[in-house]
Amino acid sequence: MTTQIHVAPLRAWLAERPATWRIGAVLIGSWVIAASSWASAPMYPVPITMQTFAVLLVAGMAGARLGFAIVATWLTQAALGLPFLADGAGGLDAFSGPTAGYLAGFALAAFVCGWLTEQPQLRAWAPMLAVFLAGHALILACGWGRLSMLIGAEPAFASGVWPFLIGAVLKSVLAVAVVKLAEPRIRAMQS
């Protein structure tokens, strides 16, 4: 099997396997994000969860296209009513309420961060941390934009961005650590 050092490790590992493996990876990845949704602390109007950690982890491990497919599958399952969002929510209401911008931001960040972390120069610790911090900023900006339409720009920032900044840094560091610790193990399985 050929080692593809310049692509995300999960994508490289799946490259020469049957399509059913990729489908399985997409489903399992979507369920990992769903599980991260259940780790939440109540806040209004948007709860604090581990979703951003899981989305960035998926991006760093799977790359742009596979990472986007995983996040889109998770969101589709949630839209269909499965309890895959914060506090076990599911259904279309989440896609039109205060969390809608964050949900769109997850898909966008998965693609952008996945694409950036597939660049060889951005796979090191510090550059990947910068990418993941930018991913959090993208998610928060999308969330703030939608929330601003509902409650106004200043209250949206105060309740939908500001409380998440410290967590964004911590979850970014954690996501980089997990990706960098798992990467050599996954790449070793390619040989």
Which of 52, 16, 87 minimizes the C-alpha distance to 166? Answer: 52
Q: Is residue 2 part of a domain?
A: no
Cβ contact 13:188 at 8 Å: no
CATH of residue 20: 1.10.1760.20
Distance in angstroms (rounded) separating the CA atoms of residues 27 and 47: 24
Sign of CA dihedral 160, 107, 59, 119: negative
Which tens digit of pLDDT belongs to each residue from 62-117?
Answer: 999 999 999 999 999 999 999 999 989 999 999 999 999 999 999 999 999 999 99
Cβ contact 56:109 at 8 Å: yes
Q: Is residue 142 part of a domain?
A: yes
Q: Is residue 126 part of a domain?
A: yes
Q: Is residue 4 part of a domain?
A: no
Q: Is residue 34 part of a domain?
A: yes
Query: Is the full-model pTM beyond 0.75?
Result: yes
Which tens digit of pLDDT belongs to each residue from 113-167?
Answer: 999 999 999 999 999 999 999 999 999 999 999 999 999 999 999 999 999 999 9
pLDDT for 4 equals: 54
Q: Is residue 150 part of a domain?
A: yes
Distance in angstroms (rounded) separating the CA atoms of residues 51 and 38: 9
Structural domain count of the chain: 1
Residue 105 domain boundaries:
9-188
